[in-house]
Amino acid sequence: MTTPGHKPNAAEPAPLDPVALLKGIVSLRRLTGMYPPGHPAIEHKLSEVDESVQRHLRDAPALRLDVIHGIAHVDGVEFRHDSDTQTQILRELTDLGVDSIHFRPGVSRQELLALSECLWQVKEDGSLAAQLAARNVDHVSLGRLIALDTRWRTAQWPEAPTGPLDPAYEESLALTERTFEDVSRGKGVDLATVRDVVQLLIRKIAGSSVALSQILAVKLYENLTYCHSVNVAALSLLIARQLQFDDDTIGAIAEAALLHDIGKTRIPLDVLKKPGALDKRERALMEAHTTYGAEILVEVDGVGPLTPTVALEHHRSLEGSGYPDIGRGVVPHLMSQLVSVADIYEAITGARSYQDPAMPEQACLILARLAGTKLNTALVKAFVNAISFFPIGSVVRTDRDELGVVVRTTAGDPLHPIIALVGDGYRSTPGEIDTSLRDPSGAYLRHVLETLRPLEGMDVNVFLAGA
């Protein structure tokens, strides 16, 4: 199995071939049905399967084999190996009603043998879970994937930011993508890389008007987990700085926010990117990313003490509802509450295959409605004051029918930012307009009416260069 940009070196063990392992499991199933227990052919094939599974589990928290649309996946990453043999092997499993076989550390040779016996008997008794439980198989689970509902309207959004990016932002995206890909392959979290990204966020991105405009404004791309995570970390930093937290706390928040969705590396991409509502089984799988994230992070030496907590709690509400269910009324940690505000804003201002992105002012109104019940009111106020209803880089229209680009926010007045007017040919006009200025009677001279989608051919970065 290979993934783009990854070049195995001599020190790395050979990657697991999921088709070869599934072939071994299918062969073991057949041998179990053909020969009596203890037959040398069974024992030999059992040793091969056991060795492959144990070798993978030595370096990974789990081994997940899934067959999705006729393609084998190992730990959520597809393995393309077009051959008649692969097709036959995978079809034999799916015909049994088995699309997923997941192994956890501690799986024994005896459990693997019990698995093969259950698979042989599946046509006689379809209750695989009951059979596995009856045979004391605790470290193997079987599942069936439900076909995606493709009737939903699917928008073809790009999967990453397009156009020229702020250099530090671009570097942070690349480093985070590599980190998440490593985790999805079972390598664990590279904490040194995570800390490099945190320093980029704190020292460069949080102070760059261009970078913040690319993070804050409406996003016309369906950002994947790594991109969403960088954006949430940057937004969490804005809240932390608005509240004047100390440097150590700010660093801890940036790390926790960057890794809050690391558990999604264990969720199949077909579920993560499903163009429509998830069914009950898929929803349960998606919600499990919080638990998976905490499990991954507690095993990382040197990670911040609250980083696993944020991964676990960022979908729990102020009133103690949400997931995972850790007890009604259990209030999430303040750091989890902070990341939740940034997470929700970033999610609803990003494009999805089944919905257009919300404008920033719409997102702020949604946060306001959730304040006091789902979200911490003080944190929502701090966030809105930090970014304004009209974030840096937003293209806006005033009540004078002027077109402008927000270049700075106004402290204490999120509805009235400072803008640069757009002239002919989408060029910046000299000077800036402070929409918070008032006339002698106290009435505002201007109001921003709405945010507009970025106009074709317009480079917002030109307006921010001198901001």
Identify the pLDDT of residue 77.
Answer: 75
List, run by run, the mean pLDDT of 10-residue segments along the chain (467 residues). 44 69 90 89 94 90 82 76 64 79 93 90 62 87 62 62 84 95 90 96 90 81 86 96 96 98 90 77 91 95 96 94 86 97 92 76 91 95 88 89 89 87 83 92 92 79 72
The full DSSP string for 368-390 is HHHBTTTB-HHHHHHHHHHH-SS
Identify the pLDDT of residue 143.
Answer: 79
Identify the pLDDT of residue 120.
Answer: 84
Q: Under DSSP, is residue 162 helix (H, G, I), strand (E, B) or coil? A: coil
CATH 1.10.3210.10 residue ranges of the chain are 167-387
What is the fold, at CATH topology level, of the domain defined by 167-387?
Hypothetical protein af1432 (1.10.3210)
Specify the DSSP element, H or E, that contains 42: helix 40-57
Q: Rounded CA gap, 274 and 360, in Å?
A: 24
pTM attached to this predicted model: 0.65
Residue 77 · residue 185 · CB < 8 Å:
yes
